């Protein structure tokens, strides 16, 4: 069976907050799919609408429910990544507490509060799988990103596209990172370049495959499932199956103007010392040989580029076995490593002792959040326990939901 190519996306400003909901009344998982968390990335919305229309037209007996949600509607109406600040960089406990109390300072604060209003009734009932559809400013094959916790792997690895580990951990305040820390599943899919009409097709294929992987759909209810898998596989042929982020170049306001050198694309090999961009201070060189990811060819955002390297499937299997056996109890016994006395889920490493091999061991156990502190490195990870929680900062919104 062949698949049709997509039409250009509809006017993004016309999308409501809730694009649609499909529920056939059968018990099963709750899946929430978000598009346009960045307002200049409308392709995901078109893909979500297409899948919802397909389910309704064929009256598929879905298990559980599928909810389609628009992300940054105010930026979407302007065709901009964001209005005041990046909506996918402000999901921290401190910001959520302020927003839940009604202290709204930016357009994105209001967007966050409205999204929480949609999510909260679902979060109260049990685990939710969140699928976040994005696109990129450079040419790119489709790929997925996930926080490195085991419960995210079934959805991400169900797709025949590269999986990028660690991106969620090096970015502060991502929506999926916050929801993952509450105990839910979160996988992002980068479908391709913003304006490439194939990006909608790739998002549609990814969403259908993940609905099957989540147990929402049976394979027989998606008769063209093999064609969707082949579409994604052909688009990412020759790419590494799994990569991990090794470096993030952050653009500070005083660095502007930041200008990428032309022609860089995702997964392109770059060599240590190669000039990749320029900013106010001059040429920017690659710190280590690897694969360039998400080079910024748009005016907004503080991520200039990332450098990744391939990871083998055997490493993934080893990390899963170590965590399943709960051998992370051995982490404090690594050379140069001690437990943070105030935060038991954080570890402090002396970089003079804890060299590269120790960092790799931390990564095996999911400790990919790395911060410098007083000449030491502090490692932490996303919450590994699958039992969802409702944190204290959401209490004001919980009360509003109960009273409403």
- What single string gives the DSSP state of each residue in 156-178? HTTSSS-EEESHHHHSTT-HHHH
The pTM assigned to this predicted structure is: 0.91
Q: Please tell me if the domain spanning 12-235 has the same topology as the one spanning 244-310.
A: no
Cα 385 to Cα 275, 348, 391, distances in angstroms: 42, 22, 14
Looking at residue 105, its pLDDT comes to 94
Three-state DSSP at 336 gives coil
Residue-level length of the chain? 404
Strand partners, 33: 68, 131
Q: Is the pLDDT of residue 4 over 60?
A: no
Cα 245 to Cα 163, 198, 391, distances in angstroms: 11, 26, 29
Quick: pLDDT tens for 272-330: 999 999 999 999 999 999 999 999 998 788 889 999 999 998 999 999 999 999 888 88
Cα 187 to Cα 99, 307, 310, 399, distances in angstroms: 24, 20, 19, 29
Q: How far apart are CA 328 and CA 324, in angstroms?
A: 9
From 3.40.630.10, 1.10.760.10, 3.40.1390.10, 3.30.70.2740, which CATH number describes the 12-235 domain?
A: 3.40.630.10
DSSP helix, strand, coil percent of the chain (3-state; round to 5): 35, 25, 40
Quick: pLDDT tens for 109-160: 999 999 999 999 999 988 999 999 999 988 889 999 999 999 999 999 999 9
Looking at residue 381, its pLDDT comes to 86
Q: What kind of fold does domain 244-310 have according to CATH?
A: OB fold (Dihydrolipoamide Acetyltransferase, E2P) (2.40.50)
Task: Classify residue 5 by its DSSP letter.
Answer: P
In this structure, is the dihedral angle defined by the CA atoms of residues 237, 206, 382 and 323, taken in order, positive or negative? negative
Looking at residue 355, its pLDDT comes to 59
Which residues have C-beta within 8 Å of that of residue 19, sequence separation ≥ 6?
35, 45, 48, 49, 52, 68, 69, 70
Q: Which residue has the tokens 């976040």?
A: 132
Each domain of the chain, given as residue ranges in start order, spans 12-235, 244-310, 313-380
Place 386 in a pLDDT band, splitting at 50, 70 and 90: low
The better pLDDT of the pair 356, 167 is held by 167
């Amino acid at each position: 069976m062949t698949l049709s190519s997509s039409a250009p996306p509809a006017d993004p400003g016309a999308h409501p907050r809730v694009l649609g909901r499909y529920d056939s009344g059968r018990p099963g998982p709750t899946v929430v799919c978000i598009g346009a968390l960045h307002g200049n990335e409308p392709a995901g919305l078109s893909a979500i609408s297409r899948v919802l229309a397909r389910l309704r037209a064929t009256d598929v007996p879905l298990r559980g429910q599928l909810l389609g949600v628009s992300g940054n509607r105010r930026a979407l109406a302007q065709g901009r990544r964001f209005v005041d600040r990046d909506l996918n960089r402000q999901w921290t406990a401190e910001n959520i507490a302020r927003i839940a109390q009604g202290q709204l300072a930016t357009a994105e604060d209001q967007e966050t509060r409205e999204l929480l209003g949609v999510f909260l009734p679902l979060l109260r009932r049990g685990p939710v799988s969140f699928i976040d559809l994005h696109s990129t400013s450079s040419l790119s094959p489709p790929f997925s990103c996930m926080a490195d916790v085991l419960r995210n792997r079934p959805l991400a690895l169900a797709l025949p596209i590269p999986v990028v580990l660690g991106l969620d951990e090096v970015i502060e305040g991502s929506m999926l990172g916050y929801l993952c820390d509450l105990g839910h599943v979160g996988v992002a899919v980068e479908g391709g370049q913003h304006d490439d009409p194939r990006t909608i097709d790739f998002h549609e294929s990814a969403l259908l495959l993940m609905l099957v992987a989540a147990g929402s759909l049976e394979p027989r209810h998606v008769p063209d499932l093999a064609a969707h898998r082949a579409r994604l596989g052909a688009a990412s042929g020759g790419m590494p199956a799994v990569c991990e982020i090794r470096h993030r170049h952050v653009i500070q306001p005083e660095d502007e103007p930041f200008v990428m050198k032309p022609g860089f694309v995702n997964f392109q090999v770059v060599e240590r010392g190669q000039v990749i961009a320029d900013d106010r201070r001059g040429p920017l060189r690659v710190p280590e040989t690897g694969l360039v990811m998400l080079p910024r060819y748009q005016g907004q955002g503080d991520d200039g580029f990332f450098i990744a390297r391939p990871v083998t499937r055997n490493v993934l299997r080893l990390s899963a076995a170590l965590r399943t056996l709960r051998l992370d109890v051995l982490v404090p016994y690594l050379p140069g490593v001690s437990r943070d006395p105030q935060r038991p889920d954080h570890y402090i490493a002396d970089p003079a002792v804890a060299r590269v091999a120790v960092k790799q061991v931390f990564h095996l156990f999911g400790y990919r959040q790395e911060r410098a502190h007083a000449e030491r490195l502090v490692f932490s990870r996303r919450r590994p326990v699958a039992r969802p929680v409702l944190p204290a900062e959401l209490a004001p919104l919980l009360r509003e939901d109960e009273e409403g």
